[in-house]
Structure 1
Amino acid sequence: MSTPLILVDELCRLITDATGELILEAKTGPSRPPSVIPGFLDDDEPKPGKPPEEKAVPFVLVRFRSGEDTEQAGMATVRLIATTYSKHGQGWRDPMNVLERIRQAILTHRPLVRQFDLQLPIKWDMPEEQPWPYWIAWMTTSWTIGRPILTEMEDTMYGENIYYR
């Protein structure tokens, strides 16, 4: 499995634990913690202005954004998108509360599973225009990730073994 995919999956586990006791209003059904979803909603198309799937709200999307390898390190950028529901004018507080719980969790669990090291700064943002009654905010994080290293042992497929460090 790809190292960025492992990072996304580990972040999903951490965020599920960090937000599990946070009870938020849902448009349908009882109030509940946010669902944590890797990538996109199942029937989501990444189009600006498309309203979220009502049955999924509240949720946090854990979305890989970009990667980069330099001589010093491999890096991955992951965006965490919190979406909540509230008809109240102070509903903007809900996604910020979700992001704060996540922020505290990732800052206190470094490195993540002894494999991914959070690189500061963490950036978070909330657009001024909100798709009321939905409220959205996101956090952008950068992580060092393992890079392949070659060994002298031979692999049957490529003639070399690749290990991550």
Structure 2
Amino acid sequence: MTSLQLQETLKKRIEQALSGMLLSSQEGESKEIQVFKQHLPRKTKSTSRNPGNTFYPCVIVYLDEGENGKVKVLLIVATHDEETDNQGYQDAMNIVEKIMQDLGRNPQVDGRYEIQEEPKWFYNEQDNYPYYFAWIETSFEIPRSLREDVEAMI
């Protein structure tokens, strides 16, 4: 089991947990939350001719670091809200809450990856209007490979 398999499985789990949740998008319409692995896709040259080529709201499943069968994962939440009341942070926090509840109900992912540390959330307090960012930090244990030379030592 690799970190990349954890990332793919976690992506699917988050998509399922957020399914049906509609939020404000850059197109000015409500749309479902997209989930990406590691980075946002590259934009095409003109989003004005192709307004469907926008990514917000989204969650990015980011592999941050790993050691000794433990992988630190960041779930980066990004939303877009052009309302002037500056309350778009609520969309980001609603996504965070939904993911935190899902992980709390079932801290094992795909029956193979166990959460090692209680997930923590953070909110980006910088003013990035009309974009709002938050993230969840957690660590998972991934199954480790067995050493081949151990059998010879016995």
**Contact (CA 8 Å) 2:124, 2:132: kept in 1 or not?**
no
Q: Structure 1: how far apart are the matches of 2:141 and 2:113? A: 6
In the TM superposition, residue 29 of structure 1 has moved relative to its aligned partner by: 5.6
Runs (5+) with no aligned partner, structure 2: 44-52, 150-154
User: Deviation digits for residues 52-92 of structure 1, max 9, x if unmatched?
Assistant: xx7111110000000011xxxx1000100110011232111
**Contact (CA 8 Å) 1:130, 1:136: kept in 2 or not?**
no
The runs of 4+ residues in structure 1 deviating greater than 6 Å are none
Residue pairs, 1:1-165, within 5 angstroms: 3-28=2-27, 30-43=29-42, 55-69=54-68, 74-88=69-83, 89-151=86-148
Task: Say which structure, 1 or 2, has more relative contact order (CA 8 Å, 6+ apart).
Answer: 2
State the identity %.
Answer: 30
In the TM superposition, residue 117 of structure 1 has moved relative to its aligned partner by: 0.4
Q: Structure 1: how far apart are the matches of 2:139 and 2:21? A: 25
Q: Structure 1: how far apart are the matches of 2:2 and 2:55? A: 27
**Contact (CA 8 Å) 1:118, 1:143: kept in 2 or not?**
yes
**Contact (CA 8 Å) 1:110, 1:117: kept in 2 or not?**
yes
Runs (5+) with no aligned partner, structure 1: 45-53, 152-159, 161-165
Q: Structure 1: how far apart are the matches of 2:115 and 2:92? A: 21
Q: Give the count of matched residue pairs.
A: 138
User: Deviation digits for residues 21-74 of structure 1, max 9, x if unmatched?
Assistant: 211000116311210001101228xxxxxxxxx7111110000000011xxxx1
Q: Structure 2: how far apart are the matches of 1:15 and 1:130? A: 26
